[in-house]
Amino acid sequence: MAAIFIHHHRVSYAECTVGNHIYHSRYLDLLEAARGEFLRSLGRTVLELQDADFIFPVIEARLRYKFPARYDDLLAIEVRPTLIERVRLNFGHRIVNQAGKLILEAETFHACTSREEKPKRMPPEMVEKLLPYLNVE
């Protein structure tokens, strides 16, 4: 079974609508933060990768909203790669609240490029560190 990285986040008042649920597009920010912490846990920050001329722009995102997250909820954001190819890196995400209720399922699709946005192979040491988390469902 593949390892799963989990990032925790407490929902702030600023992230919520008047109806007291996270505004739908804010989930993309949460996923980005969780991916950044995942990469940091593997030994390199997003900025360090960028300085080494590797960026990973999102080329597609799919989100399935299951249940609203509300102010002060403590969320567990699961992140794991679902595809690792030469210039492609996809992630699967799940968000659950403190009661274990599924809030969101998502997939993000990334290209590995230079800062000039030319496709390039992912760094081999990064691929090696991602492999234990690869979800091969």
Cα–Cα distance for residue pair 50/56, rounded to 1 Å: 9
Q: What are the phi and psi torsion angles at 53 (to 5°)? A: 75, 35
Q: Radius of gyration (Cα) for the chain, nearest Å?
A: 15
Nearest C-alpha neighbor of 105 from the set 31, 32, 41, 35: 31
All structural domains of the chain: 5-133 (3.10.129.10)
Q: What is the pLDDT of residue 137?
A: 57
Q: pLDDT value at position 123?
A: 95
pLDDT of 34: 98
What confidence score (pLDDT) does residue 2 get? 85
Within its chain, how far is the Cα of 61 from the centroid?
A: 10
Nearest residue to 81 (alpha-carbon basis) of 42, 52, 121, 50: 42
User: Could you say which residues of the chain have pLDDT below 70?
Assistant: 135-137
pTM of this structure = 0.94
